[in-house]
A and B are shown apart, each in its own frame.
Chain A
Amino acid sequence: MRLLDIRNLNIELLNLDQPVKAVESVNFSMYPSEVSGLIGESGSGKSLIAKALVGVLNNRWQVTADRFHFMGQDLNKMSMQKRKKIISENIAMIYQEPRRCLDPTSNIFSQLEESLPESYHSGWFNSKKKERVRKCIALLHKVGIKNHNEVFHSYPHMLSEGVCQKIMIAMAIAKQPKLLIADEPTTALESSTSLQVIKLLRSLNQLKDMAVIFITHNLNSITSWADTINVMYCGQLIESSSTKKILTAPKHPYTKALFDSEPDLSEQQNKNRTKLYALKGTIPTLQHLPIGCRLGPRCPNAQKACVIIPEPKKIKGQTFRCHYPLNIKELK
């Protein structure tokens, strides 16, 4: 059974002269305890998908989907309250700027404590509180914070971004969610801390059977542990398949360009001093999207047929939107 199954997800921004489709007909699905990477340039709509999933977009955005199944339940048919309840119990999210996502005026303990699920713990009032304190301490230890007492009484401005991100993860796993959405969790952190965070997420995925959607634009941080990778460009999901397939034989030219633009730091490359690879041009704004294939004007092998929007095609579990996919012969 699929954990998450979304068909034809559209996200529109309403408060402009005419509604702008920021995310267009995205199909996305994943299995339980799977790690799925969502990759794309900034502005490609990957964070929007995450926010739409958790339901924190404000009313300037309109989210529609033909199918929105979560753990076999059709969330589209439910009332707002029920949907919100299911989502908040089972999906947690961590953000790219952890310190800004913590309330600056209340201390860490109270913020951590409120993300614990309401337990039906019987007993005296005091013992219930003790139980919750114990749970909070356990959560902090789990994410690798040892001096829990100091952290409990601190305010967010006293802590470093790395510690804040660990606290955010502690909050996220407090309800033991089925799915954790990590929205560029390592952008604000320095490399050693970001490695710690990724290791932490990885171990949580393996030990707790927690599915992870890892949103990033840094390929290296995801290719080693993701099961599937989804590549976004201009609000469209242009290619999605298992990590192995996408690494060895990318179908979409943009995916290939994305992997090629990653600087190769091996010795060979350093000796030859080749130019860093980059696609020509820039990502178009949402108001001025090209007709046809969105990559069309920048695509190295665009042809006449590319003025028609390519529909998603599927070959051996690899979905892509391209008229002239690469690496077809190798697969045959």
Chain B
Amino acid sequence: MFNYLYRKTSLLLFISFGITAFAFSLYYLFPGDLLTNMTGITNITEENYQFLADKYKINESIITQYLAFLERLYQGDWGVSINTGDSIYQLIFNLLPATIELALYALIYSFIVAIPFGVLSASESHPWLDKGILSLSLIGFSMPIFWLALIITFIFSISLGWFPTSGRLSLVYDIPPETGFILIDILISDVPYKAEAFSDALEHLAIPTFVLAAYPTTVLIRSTRQSMKSVMQKSYIKAARAKGLSTWQVLKRHGLRNGLLPVIQTLGIHFGTLITLAMVTEVIFAWPGLGALLVDAIHQRDFTTIQGGLLVISALVFLATILFDVLYMIFDPLARIRGHGKI
């Protein structure tokens, strides 16, 4: 077990090197002045230039520059945005919780919806249910997310008026940002309109979460169905049935654990796609997150922000992948011995 964790951590080391080396190379790959790309300051004066050149070590070898870059990353000195002049570190880590919040809730939602549906459609006694769920999931799978978002907004926000169209919280409520996670912030704040603010935040969350969850839900339904179907045919399930366990007991003790193992892996694989879709969702619903920031930065050629955003998002995806792998290992004793040479 510790051997496995050690292997995963050493993998983390190599991948962090890859990510940081790529981010560092962007200084040279982006058009424009090298020092501007590094600092984010557009009009550098003569006396400032010398100071910054020393600080960023641009006259020394590439390796020294890279090491200095790592040191700055560690210290939180990520430069400033070319367009606004704000500190990128501050900017990104203020917005990151919003993105994580959206992706996490969508993931939880898709888990809650997809696993029962997947298990149901795998059961042999209801073939009609299987067909219904499968065709619904096919629709969800093939529908472009921005189109789905617009349709849902049109129906539930504009026609019916049940949910707000965009944003994270109504401007009426003023919640001091503590953690960045809006629901937690509301809960720990001591404002008199706590309950109202909380329900308002939930209303704002509803449509973006649903839209973002469409993709992972369908993927999860299909993979759950597939693996449950094969697991329920296994000899140990039949043996467990012959022992006299009820259908629910068989499912709980043997079926689900074995059936959901490949699902965890699928989820790890699709986490990158989920983050990409979260960016699109953020742009559509004016959700103040990292994705929206990154898309704006790309439009405005804000190179320093692009670099910082890429660094954080790729690190996020990678950490999530490792997390899912470790989860997989905890549940599957076979993964612990087969872990060699596997990412």
Contacts and interface: CB of A to CB of B under 8 A. Distances in A.
Given A95-B239, A101-B236, A106-B253, A157 B244 contact: no
B124 A84 contact: no
A155 interface: yes
A229 to B, nearest CB: 24
Nearest to A101: B239
A103 B243 contact: no
Interface stretch (B101-109, B137-145, B213-221, B331-339): B331-339
B3 interface: no
A59 B125 contact: yes
B235 to A, nearest CB: 4
B68 interface: no
Nearest to A86: B244
A85 interface: yes
A231 interface: no
A171 interface: yes
Contacts of A110: 253
B234 interface: yes
B240 interface: yes
B241 A104 contact: no
Nearest to A51: B238
A102 B245 contact: no
A105 B238 contact: no
B258 interface: yes
A102 B236 CA distance: 5
Interface in A283-313: none
A92 to B, nearest CB: 8
A97 interface: yes
A168 B235 CA distance: 13
A157 B333 contact: yes
A171 B240 CA distance: 10
Nearest to A104: B334
A267 B331 CA distance: 56
B333 A104 contact: yes
Given A59-B125, A155-B333, A157-B333, A104 B258 contact: yes
A85 B242 CA distance: 10
Given A85-B244, A88-B242, A114-B253, A59 B331 contact: no
Most buried by A among B238, B239, B241: B239
A71 to B, nearest CB: 16
A24 interface: no
A237 B287 CA distance: 73
A207 interface: no
A155 B234 CA distance: 17
A88 to B, nearest CB: 3
A105 B235 contact: no
A97 B333 contact: no
B8 interface: no
Contacts of B254: 103, 106
B243 A88 contact: yes
A58 interface: yes
Interface in A40-85: 51, 54-56, 58-59, 84-85
Contact of A88 (B244, B333, B334): B244
Contact of B332 (A93, A95, A105, A107): A105
A227 interface: no
A115 B104 CA distance: 39
Contacts of A85: 244
Interface in A105-152: 105-107, 110, 114-115
Contacts of B241: 55-56
B242 A100 contact: no
Given A92-B242, A104-B236, 17 more contacts: A56-B238, A58-B124, A58-B233, A88-B242, A95-B235, A100-B235, A101-B235, A101-B238, A101-B239, A102-B239, A104-B333, A105-B258, A105-B333, A106-B253, A114-B240, A155-B334, A175-B244
Interface of A: 51, 54-56, 58-59, 84-85, 87-89, 92-93, 95, 97, 100-107, 110, 114-115, 155, 157, 168, 171, 175
10 contacts: A84-B244, A87-B244, A95-B239, A100-B236, A104-B258, A105-B331, A105-B332, A114-B240, A114-B243, A155-B334
Q: 7 smallest A-B Cβ distances: which pairs? A: A88-B244, A101-B239, A155-B333, A100-B235, A56-B238, A54-B242, A103-B254
